[in-house]
Amino acid sequence: MEPSSRDNASDAFRKAAWRRRRWRVEAGLIFAFWTVLALLTLGNAFLSPHAGAFDWNAAVALRTFARFYLWALVTPLVFWLARRYPLDESSGKGRGLRNAVLHAAVAFFGAAVLDLADDVVRYGLNPERTIADLRVFNDVLDLSILYELAIALAVLAAGFARSYFLRLRRRDRREARLEARADRLQRQLTEARLQALRMQLNPHFLFNTLHAVSTLVGDDPAGVRRMIARLSELLRHVLEEGDRDEVPLREEMHFLGAYLDIMQIRFQGRLEVDLTGVPPETEDALVPPLLLQPLVENAVKHGAGEVEGTGRVWGRARRVENERPGAERLLLAVGDNGPRFAEGDTPDIPDGTGLENVRARLRELHGADAALSFRTAEGGGLVAEVSLPFRPAAPDAELHTQARPQPVA
């Protein structure tokens, strides 16, 4: 049997079992309701001012219970009619009036039958009565069946209420299933988009890094070997990440350290790196993998790399309280001392592949609750800032933190 067939069979079995449980519960409730009503009727007759004239015997009790248990037997049929022939728009256009007439006729006929059945029970329990005492049509003609008719209409009203409740519950469950399916499809779409963005970013990062390696091929073969060793570490890290959409900030900072080692080799001592501004309370925060690498690459290429003397790139992280009580945010910053912007300038940074990818992944994971912005640094240079909700990694989450590579001779 195919998996889908097994799932359908399992669903059908669960629905059948649920229906059986529901009918057992409803049958018990119906029996209990009419039993209580019979007891209340007997109690009311006993406590009435005319109780002294009331002939208390087993036959009276049996007749009372028989009368209401007959209604208990009829109640499921009335409930079925109320569900099968509703009065609202669910019955179809123009069928509400027809169903109302049908229910009125059934209620009147049922009241007459139940009243006749009560007479039969009374006749059977009283040996002094004769067959002539049975009133077959008299109760109908003198409207003495109004009591039974009132009961029939009350049961019918309860049937309509039950039918409406069941329809409402089915609709709510159907809407819940549709919402769950929509959420599942949305998650799958988000995962597919994130995976596509990852697939876009990985070649972008690799090609740019290989370009950095190629600039030293003729001038520093030893440096090239060290850069290739670092690059192998980075590629192993990217491959071992798997399909994770978020990683602890600790892993992201280790990755940045290895990447910036390559950049320092390339710039031959003209690049200073400071990644010490990440306090321990932020290291378990979840961030998209390779979130900061495009920002660091931008800071090196267009900032520190343009400095005549020694360029500087730094990274910081802060955990701050949000406006909402109990909510916290993670602020990440990557800065440089590049000459493009003086202090107080308004930076206008066009989105390339890397920055556009950062914005897209933040948008997919957090919507409007995350943002990437730029400002000028003190003394000149550019600072890229990422703001996103602070969410710590699970304590038992599998981490892939690797030790920062040691320099290769």
pLDDT in tens, 102-125: 888 888 888 878 777 777 776 666
Per residue in 237-253, pLDDT (tens digit) is 776 665 677 889 998 89
Instruction: Please tell me the distance from the alpha carbon of residue 63 to that of residue 55, in angstroms, as a whole number.
Output: 13
SS3 396: coil
Strands 247-248 and 286-287: antiparallel
Per residue in 318-330, pLDDT (tens digit) is 999 876 666 799 9
Instruction: Please tell me the distance from the alpha carbon of residue 333 to that of residue 311, in angstroms, as a whole number.
Output: 17
Helices H / strands E in the chain, number of each: 9, 7
Instruction: Please tell me the distance from the alpha carbon of residue 138 to that of residue 134, in angstroms, as a whole number.
Output: 9
Instruction: Please tell me the distance from the alpha carbon of residue 394 to that of residue 5, in angstroms, as a whole number.
Output: 37
Of 86-95, 228-237, 305-314, 392-401, which has the strongest mean pLDDT? 305-314
What's the fold here for domain 215-389?
Heat Shock Protein 90 (3.30.565)
Give the pLDDT score at 21. 82
Instruction: Give the number of C-alpha atoms closer than 13 A to the C-alpha of residue 265, restricted to the C-beta side.
Output: 30
Phi and psi, residue 400, nearest 5°: -120, 35
Calculate the average pLDDT of the chain: 77
pLDDT higher at 5 or 213:
213
SS3 247: strand
pLDDT-derived band at 231 (thresholds 50, 70, 90) equals confident
The residues pairing with 388 across neighbouring beta strands, listed in sequence order, are 330
Range scoring the smallest mean pLDDT among 161-170, 199-208, 391-400: 199-208
Is pLDDT above 80 for 399? no
Range scoring the smallest mean pLDDT among 54-63, 196-205, 330-339: 196-205
pLDDT-derived band at 293 (thresholds 50, 70, 90) equals confident
Instruction: Please tell me the distance from the alpha carbon of residue 348 to that of residue 336, in angstroms, as a whole number.
Output: 16
CB atoms within 10 A of CB 53: 7
The amino acid at residue 79 is: F
Q: Please name the residue that has the structure tokens 């981490």.
A: 399
Give the pLDDT score at 178. 79
Give 238's contacts (C-beta < 8 A, 6+ positions apart): 202, 205, 289, 290
DSSP codes joined into one string, 37-106: HHHHHHHHHHHSTTGGG---SHHHHHHHHHHHHHHHHHHHHHHHHHHHS-SSGGG-TT-HHHHHHHHHHH
Is pLDDT above 50 for 408? no
Give the burial string for 333-355 (b: 16+ CB within 10 Å, else e): bbbbbbeebeeeeeeeeeeeebb
Structure tokens belonging to residue 287: 């961030």
Is pLDDT above 90 for 360? no
Q: Which of 162, 182, 197, 165 is nearest to 365 (CA)?
A: 197
Burial (Cβ within 10 Å: 0-12, 13-18, ≥19) of residue 47: exposed
∠ Cα 151 96 74 (to 5°):
30
Give 388's contacts (C-beta < 8 A, 6+ positions apart): 287, 329, 330, 332, 362, 365, 366, 369, 370, 371
pLDDT-derived band at 140 (thresholds 50, 70, 90) equals low
DSSP codes joined into one string, 295-333: HHHHHHHHTGGG-SS-EEEEEEEEEEE-SSTT-EEEEEE
Give the pLDDT score at 386. 95
Contact 329, 390 (CB under 8 A): yes
Is pLDDT above 80 for 341? yes
Give the pLDDT score at 401. 41
SS3 50: coil
Q: How far is CA 57 from the centre of its chain?
A: 62
DSSP symbol at 220: -
Q: Please name the residue that has the structure tokens 């209340």.
A: 40
Is pLDDT above 60 for 6? no
SS3 170: helix
Burial (Cβ within 10 Å: 0-12, 13-18, ≥19) of residue 221: exposed
Per residue in 173-199, pLDDT (tens digit) is 888 887 877 777 666 555 655 555 555
Q: Please name the residue that has the structure tokens 């079925």.
A: 80
Instruction: Please tell me the distance from the alpha carbon of residue 314 to that of residue 291, in angstroms, as a whole number.
Output: 15
CATH 3.30.565.10 domain position(s) in the chain: 215-389
